[in-house]
Chains A and B, each alone.
Chain A
Amino acid sequence: MMLSCPDPDGFWDGALRSRLVSSSGSVAGYDLSASSMTIEDLDREDSALQRVQSVLRFQRNSLLSVHRLPPEITALVFSFYVDETRRQLRSKHALGWIVITHVCRRWRQIALESAGLWQRVTFGIGDEWAEEMYRRSKGTILEVKTRSALTERQHNLVAKHLHRTKLLSLRAHPDSPPPSLLLSSDNPAPILETLEIEDPIRPEPAVLPLNRFGAFSPNLRHVTICTRAINLPWTSTLLTGLVTLKMRSTGHKDMATTPSPSLNQVLSALKRMKALESLELAGDLFPRSVSHAISKTAKLSRLVTLKLSGPMADCTSFLSHIEAPACTTFCLGLECSHASDEEIDDALSLLTSWATKHCAFASRALRLTTHEILDLWDLRMEAWRCDPGNLQPRVEMTDEEGDINVTFEWTADEEPDVPLSSLARMCFDAFTSPQLQQLVVDLDYWETEDWLDIMPEQPKLRRIMAGGQAADELVPALDPEAFDEGSLPVGTRVVLPLLTSLQL
């Protein structure tokens, strides 16, 4: 567009004089003394000028390279920006990325029209905005996560759009309607893949009507339930397609008003989960004193990870009814603080027998987590040390590629009252193997001398990852600069010809 007046100074000077004042005055060259305009008049003039200014700036911006990018490219930039900003700010500032809509008119327009940016609805800033985000997301697939109490209006919104929700993560709040109200046959969820429900505080355990919901969510693959008592429809077809199942009971089963599932029920359901790759069970899950009467075993042929934590007796009896591939990673956290010596003996016996039978400890990675297992080992360390053969054969077995990786992962928040360095050493002795190729150790629990002593026994060790304060002591002895060349400096006692990675 061509301006009708080639000289902007002349044009605006004329406009100003015709609207307001004569020139040749003391205010920026204008004489305002003769003006009879009121404040309201001047405000209107000012608003009009600001609109003109906005148009001029918009026109100027449109000539910039960044504004000449095709809208879809700008939207792609936004998607990178939004993803990373969401990741950094977490849910606390879930809409921190929205500053991009404040930069200029074009960016705002593109952002508002990019439905994908609005696919993760945030509820923490009020009903109006939740509705606005649903509207902006148009028909795109949604990921809905709530961490604060849902108002009834927001609850209705979630239900209304469940048909296009791919991920639904609900954290219940005493003031919110229970999540179970959402999951009914009135709200089909045909594309729902991930369902996470956390309701640890409601006095009554959540009763999930998933038996009715199941038929309406055929694509459900990942379920995480964290409630006072687990009350899943164990016979539902909903469960058969699951790839991930995580269940955490936050209440004590004796206190729960809804009965816990029987081990038999769970095993029957697991047997039907042919695609299950990740299973996590935590808390008081099953009624006790029933496992001896059960003869069935659930074979989980695709299981990659099994995490089990809870009362030792529950865990060990559950394990005794599970068959898993040798490549499965097991994470065990066994609570034994209230167990009698007899119960511990029984549990250990069962655990050892199970491990030997199923060769599961020959897996490529064995992670033993939580401080409970340290307690367990403290109690029975003598037994383990006296009979390391219980463990040794399992470590020496190889997988298909001939590799064995044994990983100890200590995650104790508080240091248990046990001699950790000697405990760790004993555990290492029990599991160590000349075929060891990767070692993960928190050196807080190790004496440097202990660490160096075991090195010559590991000629094939290729990777060390170590953390903790003692890593500082290790560095002078193990010069990481030399590792790439295949050996350590002269004078050290360790030669690791295959070592290619050291992470301290």
Chain B
Amino acid sequence: MPTIVSVDDSTVPGEGSSRLLLLVSSDNKHIVVEEDIMSRSRFISKQVEGFEATSQRHAILLPFSSFVLNKVIEYCSHYRGYYLLEDDPDAAPPGRSPVREWDQEFLDVDRNMLLRIIKAAHYLEIKSLVGSCARAIADMIRGKTTEEMREILGVENDFTPEEEHSPSSKCTG
């Protein structure tokens, strides 16, 4: 449950009627953001609906760092007001995210950061960002050998010799 924190139900100066949300990161940074920007997040939207039902506005505690949170906010800010099919809860389940040039540049980060962003996006239920991150991770390992993939991801070969030579490992096309 989110910790109850007093949040002014004020509007952003010069920005019309968009209300403010207080997001608290795992490193205890308090970040104020317009509700409108974060409406792409199904998780945040559901939280806000809960606020309206109880007439109380809470801070929303999030299990990732302010660094990651700021990246997510940057993404949401960029697409503020844009319709992205993947984020439409009423749309039929979309196919995979299309390639978006801005996303590719935005996600040109190191492996660990990319993994943190996709986890945060998954937690916040921002499907378009999850899709773009997944595509970026796939691009990272594309064309690589098994050994190279392990090296990129820091993964050890944890197969037993039997598993390594099981029938399922022989199918290499």
Contact = CB atoms under 8 A, between A and B. Distances in A.
Interface of A: 47, 50-51, 54-55, 57-58, 60-61, 64-70, 73, 76-81, 83-85, 89, 93-105, 108, 112, 122, 125, 128-129, 132
A76 B161 contact: no
Interface in B129-173: 130-131, 134-135, 137-139, 141-142, 145-146, 149-150, 153-161, 163-164, 167-169, 171-173
A76 B171 contact: no
Contact of A125 (B130, B146, B171): B171
Contact of A77 (B137, B160, B163): B137
21 contacts: A54-B160, A55-B158, A60-B158, A61-B156, A61-B158, A69-B118, A77-B134, A80-B134, A80-B137, A80-B138, A81-B141, A84-B139, A84-B142, A98-B172, A99-B149, A102-B164, A103-B153, A122-B173, A125-B173, A132-B167, A132-B171
A105 B159 contact: yes
B112 A65 contact: yes
B115 interface: yes
B155 A66 contact: yes
A390 to B, nearest CB: 44
Contacts of B146: 99, 102-103
Contacts of B153: 64, 66, 103
B141 A57 contact: no
From A70, A81, A83, A94, name the one whose CB has the most chain B CB atoms within 10 angstroms.
Answer: A81
Given A69-B118, A80-B96, A103-B146, A96 B173 contact: yes
A112 B171 CA distance: 12
Interface of B: 96, 111-112, 115-116, 118-119, 122, 130-131, 134-135, 137-139, 141-142, 145-146, 149-150, 153-161, 163-164, 167-169, 171-173
A84 B141 CA distance: 11
B42 to A, nearest CB: 15
A125 B170 CA distance: 10
A89 B138 CA distance: 16
Given A79-B96, A80-B134, A129-B171, A64 B161 contact: no
From A47, A50, A80, A122, name the one whose CB has the most chain B CB atoms within 10 angstroms.
Answer: A80
B161 A73 contact: no
Contacts, number: 115
Nearest to A52: B160
From A47, A77, A101, name the one whose CB has the most chain B CB atoms within 10 angstroms.
Answer: A77
B135 to A, nearest CB: 5
Contacts of A102: 146, 164, 169
A83 B96 CA distance: 10
A98 B149 contact: no
Contacts of B130: 73, 76
A326 to B, nearest CB: 31
A95 B155 contact: no
A69 B157 CA distance: 18
Contacts of A64: 153-155
Contacts of B164: 102
A103 B150 contact: yes
A104 B157 contact: yes
A69 B115 contact: yes
B63 to A, nearest CB: 12
B156 A57 contact: yes
Contact of B159 (A77, A94, A104): A104
A89 B172 CA distance: 12
A105 B163 contact: yes
Given A69-B118, A79-B96, A50 B160 contact: yes
Contacts of A132: 167-168, 171
B78 to A, nearest CB: 21
B144 to A, nearest CB: 8
B151 to A, nearest CB: 10
B149 A47 contact: no
Given A50-B160, A76-B131, A99-B146, A81 B138 contact: yes
A54 B96 CA distance: 35
B119 A57 contact: no
Contacts of B111: 66
A73 B138 CA distance: 11
Contacts of A99: 145-146, 149, 172
Contacts of B163: 54, 105, 108
A80 to B, nearest CB: 4
